[in-house]
Amino acid sequence: MKIGILTLPLNLNYGGILQAFALQDVLRSMGHEVYVFDNDFVPVYKRPFYKQIAVYILRFVNKIIKHDVVIQREKLFEKEYPILRKNIAIFIDKYIHLKKIKTIDSIELNNFDVLIVGSDQIWRPQYISSMWKSKVEDAFLFFTLGSNIMRIAYAASFGIDSWPCHSKNEVEHISSILNEFIAVSVREKTSINLCQSTFKIKPSLVLDPTLLLTYDRYIEFIKDYPSLGDHKLLSYILDMNDDKKKILNQVVGDKKLQIMEIDMNYSDLGLPLERRVLPSVENWLASFRDADFVVTDSFHACVFSILFNKPFVVIANKERGLSRFTSLLSQFNLQSHLLFSPSDYNSNSDYSLSNESMEKLKQLRKASLDFLTKSLKK
């Protein structure tokens, strides 16, 4: 069958790129023709005012307070964007079969047998409007109502615990189309409650697509990639603050390891351009392969620490969706790896993964693959 995957635009997100690749890879191994929908990056200043009112207001306030020429900064970022992602783009162009669209409702339904929604935070309203420039209902495929296309949700994530939109029509629209899905699954336990209480459906719980592939599958991409060194502590922190610096220093002092940092400073226009170009996806994967310990506040860095069986701590990142971390870690009985403050770090723990956790991964992977296989046979 011909399948289209609707997830968040790939942009500059390693986890987003790899989860899209993983789901595509699994579906292609089942014999399907698979495309991942993507759009072209559009800076705020080129987006319609009515779709970005809050952003425009904030930008105006910043301009007054900071005397910052915000539009010029956005134009500069737009110009530099292809350069910033040039290393990442190599992986996307080589391994992901893209289908470019402008908005979600511009998908040509006659070209597909199945639409799969997921994974990533595709059902987070603010991301739908800002990244896809689309109506919230469209991420739930409301625009397909009345068509015969097969609809499946795989590991869709809200990234939040409760539905923030209060429009009765919106909720009714989403509920009506979700009932037309062949199968619905979500990535977080809290999303099950949200779906039941708000949209009156009971979804299945499945793994993030990246966890469907084995360690050996990822190693294929970096088997010839040179070693990044020994005795390394991988620091991959998206939103650095003082508490996270303290935790990082605690771990470094305790483990006596050398920091290997993946910088995510691409939006810091105060740095030279060459320092803001993101490393390749292969480099990102090799960093986990060669790390002896991982400190992160990233959901997918947490995932790959598990996949690569690396000791790790993950620092709570509430702004990006805390339920993602708590749900994932509870599935593998790794709740002690989640730190909320420097005082939560336990120097007596090695934060390694138990055999039970790795065995649980195999069980959950099988169940998640079974969900996909059975859904596509309905």
Q: What is the DSSP letter of 199?
A: I
pLDDT at 58: 55
In the numeric block, which tokens belong to residue 248? 């990082």
pLDDT at 61: 62
CA neighbor of 310 nearest in space, from 200, 225, 212, 236: 236
pLDDT at 51: 46
Backbone phi, psi, residue 152, to 5°: -135, 140
pLDDT at 13: 94
pLDDT at 319: 84
Query: pLDDT below 70 — which residues of the chain?
Result: 41-71, 73, 166
- Domains of the chain are 2-212+364-376 (3.40.50), 225-354 (3.40.50.2000)
Q: What is the DSSP letter of 78?
A: H
pLDDT at 321: 85
Are the C-beta atoms of residues 41 and 11 closer than 8 Å to each other? yes
**DSSP letter for each residue of 220-246:** HHHTTSPP--SSEEEEE-SS--HHHHH
pLDDT at 213: 98
Is residue 40 packed enough to be buried (19+ CB in 10 Å), middle (13-18) or exposed (0-12)?
exposed
Interval 211-240: pLDDT, tens: 999 999 999 999 999 999 999 999 999 999
Q: How far is residue 74's CA from residue 62's CA, in Å, rounded to a whole number?
A: 13
